[in-house]
Structure 1
Amino acid sequence: MDMMQFQRQTTQLAMTQRMQESLRILQMSNADLTDYLVSQALENPCLDVKVPEGASVAPALPSRGIQNAVDRDAFATVEAQPVSLLAHVEEQIDLAFFDPGDRRIALAFAEALEPSGWLGLPVAEIAASAGVDEDEALAILDRLQAFEPVGLFARSLAECLALQLQDQGLLTWELRTMLDHLHLVGEGKLPELARRCDCEVVHIRENLALIRSLTPKPGEAFEHGRLPIQPPDLRVLRGKEGWEVELTRAQLPRVSVGVVSETGQSAADAWLSRAESQARWLMRAVERRQTTLLRTAACLVRHQQAFLDHGPRALKPLSMDEVALELELHPSTISRATATRLIETPRGLIPLRNFFSRSVASDGPDAPQSQDALMALVGEIISREDRAKPLSDDAIVKAAKASGAVLARRTVTKYREALGIPSSYDRKRAAAAC
């Protein structure tokens, strides 16, 4: 076989240090941004930072570039907000995927994650939303399932447990067969399970002890019920021409570039010139951050005006890809801009990401519909039921159909459990106990 050499020219986007720093600034909360700029001002005599009144500043050293520095207030004693599941996954995606196409598919999988850490959508549907074939999506999923903690991106309980056993080098044929027939464990048919695994019941019990030591829902380690105690980043108000979005500038640090006289020494003047250039770049980076936040929030509010007017039932399907396309930004930029952001609305203080809602295929007249809207519908139907005669999941399916939403029974069960609502049997028992 003859060996031949070819020369090919390709174009790739190299992420510079300043680009990486700009992305970090975009993702910072107002408090983190203040701390970051204060630390930069301690090292840069050309950077002036005015700290918001009442803000908590990490560095305690005085500096020419820091004005109105204050001691830590009550917020400083509040436990730091843990990293969310989505933020944890996105950080690993940034490190594992450098090709823009692969990154886009990986982010589509990340958006499909349930709080349990399992995938909430079929791979075929995720592949369709990313505009790729299923085989390409499966190749990306295989890489995602290597993320920590092991078990994320599983499509079922059995796959989640199998990934963990495989990671520990313990996934035998016997255990694989047990995982494929977990329903027999729930039915108490251990002899039948032993027959399928070609082993004794005592071995089944030993394997069950091993399986119970695993983590069935690895994503729950990142779930936290309470919102962080911090002021909102944005505010939405009803103006003369509709809903208007504004930044809460009272919580933002003010950045300016100070003028430092030349020393007459070439080395020192060159250093000051670089410091001034860095200060101007930081000021522009902060301005870009604010502009991106405001544009993203305005776009979300524009699409979800009905939500603000009528509540969760009026949420429309909206993805990060759609917003990114409209704003001509990368989906990962939208993800960073909305991560951990809070927005003050007439309906309360809510995470900005609540304006996104996954599209759910349906046979109803209004298909496709928002998953959050359908979940809210299930909650409303149950809230109106007779407590002495609670509705079964089948009855909820019929009530939802009467409202124009076609749901499967298993979907109603899934939404009910996500809302923390017990089964009709448990609700009836609770009502009788009262």
Structure 2
Amino acid sequence: MALGPRLDLRQTQSLVMTPQLQQAIKLLALSNLEVEAFIGEALDANPLLELGESRGDAPVEAGEALPEELRRTHLESSPVDQLVREGRVEEDRPLDIDASALDRDRDTGDGAASLELVDYRSSGAGGEGPDIDERGRFDETLAEHLHAQVGAQAHDRIELFVARWLIDQLDEAGYLTASLSDVAETLGVDLAVVQAGLALVQSLDPTGVGARNLSECLALQAKEADRYDPCMARLLDNLDLLARGELARLKRMCNVDDEDFAEMLAELRGYDPKPGLRFGSGTGEVVVPDILIRAVPQKDGSVAWDIALNQATLPRLIVNRSYYVQMRGACVGKEAKAWLGEKLADANWLMKALDQRQKTILKVAAEIVKQQDGFFRHGVSHLKPLTLRTVGEAISMHESTVSRVTSNKYLQCERGTFELKYFFTSGVASADGEGAVSAEAVKAAIRQLIDAEDPKAILSDDALVDLLKERGFDLARRTVAKYREAIGLGSSVQRRRQKALAGVR
């Protein structure tokens, strides 16, 4: 059989994602603060874009379509649209993106993101900005605080140098992890000089910084309080016995009676085991909610949910059509006109993409609130199992789109500030076999049972299994242990020791 060249014509179908469509998909995964940064870059790159007046006092609600003024972004009433309708602006080409394609996203590259509770301690629930962002900045770091003091305390230049070097080696809790012999070898000084420098650091505020272990940290604070006697020294040298709850043995070693021992423990509880944590390490991460939810009482006594985007973090973009007309008249040559038309098309696309992003976020948030209505009304014990697929099917979107929308987005309600991913939890079987309950609801029930347990009758994991079954949770013992450890609660033995120590006054 002879081989030879041949020309064939074949027809195939493939999904072509334009750069604009790819960028629109990326916009869905950005938080409001990241979108704000993106808009800032777009303003620098496109002379036709401008910032409009803020709409912080008129939030966009999920129960209705976006307000006409925001949805249109001033496109219908602009002078350029009149020129386009009359066919006098050839370069004002249509957008290279189908807005509805954002809802038909089929890229599953993100997958189902991991479920993680991020932050829910915000106390604010009003329509203003959240209270949680007030904790995002520490004015002074530990190193800055110590360096400001050490210069006034030092009497020797070499000693001051060693002390400043040691300050920079402290960890965030204020502890020195390097050995003094290694420090002496590194700096090329005598060990006595390093010891003097360390003594200088340990004399600074807060008391306890520069310690090499917990016992030394507490001892420094006891000396500061003039409570460091031989009995307290023995107690601090045997903190491992205190951790194991061997109180009788400790009392014998310290040679004190019950009253003195109780006073020593009370004194010890007043010390700070990590004094460096009073200071920050610089700029903390600010959590600003993207979605605001508040309860609205109805005339019939029921409660409806008002769901709005946090417009305080979303700049309002407009296209300067008058400037476009002026530049269009001043353009000379096809290249200049083509560049100007490209900038106008980019501006139109960006505003439509942002408009679609807001509607998509509101649609997903409204469905989450609908699915988790019990949580918003009664708390975490009523949180239901929920998956990305369930929400996607309810609002006719692909689960990968829902995953992007819920990434890096925070929701603020009267119960606090939560990441949207928090509302997607796995389920465990109920005792009656009729359905499933949220894993977060199970954790809340375990915490409630342990918090209410009698110090003289600590609940074992087997006892927790029986009590949870009475509440409708059908769980194995290993599952209860896993959830108990996940919320930071110790075993029955550990809790018995902790409550025994807490009972010593």
- Asked if these proteins are the same fold (TM beyond 0.5), I'd say yes
Shift of 1:268: 1.3
Map 1:25-174 to 2 at 5 A.
Answer: 25-50=27-52, 103=108, 107-108=111-112, 110-111=113-114
Map 1:28-427 to 2 at 5 A.
Answer: 28-50=30-52, 103=108, 107-108=111-112, 110-111=113-114, 228-239=285-296, 240=298, 242-259=304-321, 260=324, 261=326, 262=328, 263-266=330-333, 267-427=335-495
Instruction: Provide the C-alpha distance between the structure 1 equivalents of 2:11 and 2:457, rounded to a whole number of angstroms.
Output: 71
Tell me the alpha carbon deviations over residues 249-277 of structure 1, each in whole angstroms, 9 at most, x when there is no partner.
12211011112221241321221111001
- Return the letter of the residue paired with 1:229: V
Shift of 1:30: 1.5
**Does the CA-based 8 Å contact 1:365-1:404 persist in structure 2?**
no
Helix, strand or coil: the match of 1:107?
A: coil
Shift of 1:379: 1.4
Instruction: Provide the C-alpha distance between the structure 1 equivalents of 2:116 and 2:316, rounded to a whole number of angstroms.
Output: 37
- Return the letter of the residue paired with 2:464: I
- Return closer, same or farther for 1:9/1:413 CA change in 2, 3 Å cut-off: farther
Alignment length (residue pairs): 273
Shift of 1:7: 9.3
Tell me the alpha carbon deviations over residues 317-350 of structure 1, each in whole angstroms, 9 at most, x when there is no partner.
1100111111111211111111121111110111
**Does the CA-based 8 Å contact 2:430-2:436 persist in structure 1?**
yes
- Return closer, same or farther for 1:431/1:327 CA change in 2, 3 Å cut-off: same
Instruction: Provide the C-alpha distance between the structure 2 equivalents of 1:432 and 1:9, rounded to a whole number of angstroms.
Output: 78
**Does the CA-based 8 Å contact 1:37-1:49 persist in structure 2?**
no
Instruction: Provide the C-alpha distance between the structure 2 equivalents of 1:358 and 1:10, rounded to a whole number of angstroms.
Output: 41
Structure 1: tracts of 5 or more residues without a match: 55-98, 116-226
Instruction: Tell me the percent identity.
Output: 35
Instruction: Provide the C-alpha distance between the structure 2 equivalents of 1:317 and 1:8, rounded to a whole number of angstroms.
Output: 48
**Does the CA-based 8 Å contact 2:51-2:315 persist in structure 1?**
yes
Helix, strand or coil: the match of 1:25?
A: helix
Q: Match for residue 170 of structure 1?
A: none
Helix, strand or coil: the match of 1:343?
A: strand
**Does the CA-based 8 Å contact 2:115-2:422 persist in structure 1?**
no
Instruction: Provide the C-alpha distance between the structure 2 equivalents of 1:384 and 1:371, rounded to a whole number of angstroms.
Output: 20
Instruction: Provide the C-alpha distance between the structure 1 equivalents of 2:465 and 2:12, rounded to a whole number of angstroms.
Output: 54
Q: Match for residue 18 of structure 1?
A: 20
Helix, strand or coil: the match of 2:370?
A: helix
Tell me the alpha carbon deviations over residues 213-248 of structure 1, each in whole angstroms, 9 at most, x when there is no partner.
xxxxxxxxxxxxxx9423211111112351121111
Shift of 1:45: 0.9
- Return the letter of the residue paired with 2:397: L
Shift of 1:418: 0.4
Shift of 1:370: 1.4
Moved more, 293-302 or 237-246: 237-246
Instruction: Provide the C-alpha distance between the structure 1 equivalents of 2:10 and 2:382, rounded to a whole number of angstroms.
Output: 52
TM-score normalised by structure 1 residue count: 0.58
Instruction: Provide the C-alpha distance between the structure 1 equivalents of 2:116 and 2:423, rounded to a whole number of angstroms.
Output: 17
TM-score normalised by structure 2 residue count: 0.50
Structure 2: tracts of 5 or more residues without a match: 1-5, 57-104, 119-283
- Return closer, same or farther for 1:412/1:332 CA change in 2, 3 Å cut-off: same
**Does the CA-based 8 Å contact 1:344-1:350 persist in structure 2?**
yes
Q: Which has the larger radius of gyration?
A: 2
Instruction: Provide the C-alpha distance between the structure 1 equivalents of 2:405 and 2:316, rounded to a whole number of angstroms.
Output: 19
Structure with more contact order per residue of length (Cα contacts < 8 Å, sep ≥ 6) = 2
